[in-house]
Chain A
């Protein structure tokens, strides 16, 4: 398994501003992922962040809105840019780590973002 921490745990932001969320994992991992969980909805994958290459974004998510950095094998950041109230969500970082029989995704505690 993997132990994942995220900063900040929660924030309240004004419309039009940007917030950078940090994700730190206790071991080196190749693949890191960023998810969004909007109120009352399921987890949705935003993008995959591999060290040494550009992030791969899912349909409906773009780099200008959600720039991602992956400077090394234990750290990543997600920025939510030019925020609007619709960006109010929980943002989760996850990593794929070896587990019994098959690789498994492990999740961080999430960052609860409220945009006013």
Chain B
């Protein structure tokens, strides 16, 4: 079955620390990949997406993600986090030609000021 794994359920960092959140998927074909963020009290927002081309994707607020096809991974990174990055982050996979999004379980990030 298609699945998406986010191994880090809770992450606590100090401001200015570097961030990397893991995302692995099990789908064997070509996929579209997404990271969504949910800030406290707000709804899910698109952070960035990959559909083709350069495997290093840059999103909003200084986030980036790298698609590594051989590892079935799409890890999210930010070189220096801020207190305002405190949120829950969701990885999602969408196989082309389908409407279905398969979500990971999410990673709660807490950034200490």
A residues neighboring B (CB under 8 Å): 1, 4, 31, 33, 40-45, 48, 92, 96, 99, 101-102, 104-110
Contact = CB atoms under 8 A, between A and B. Distances in A.
Interface residues of B, number: 22
A31 B99 contact: yes
Given A102-B49, A107-B43, A48 B99 contact: yes
Contacts of A42: 4, 90, 103-106
Nearest to B53: A101
A79 to B, nearest CB: 21
B51 A101 contact: yes
* Those 8 A-B pairs whose CB atoms lie nearest each other, nearest first: A107-B44, A109-B43, A43-B103, A102-B51, A42-B103, A42-B105, A107-B43, A105-B101
13 contacts: A4-B43, A33-B99, A42-B90, A42-B103, A43-B103, A92-B44, A99-B46, A102-B49, A104-B34, A105-B94, A105-B101, A107-B43, A108-B43
A45 B43 contact: no
A110 B43 contact: yes
A83 to B, nearest CB: 23
A102 B44 contact: no
B26 to A, nearest CB: 14
Contacts of A48: 99
B32 interface: yes
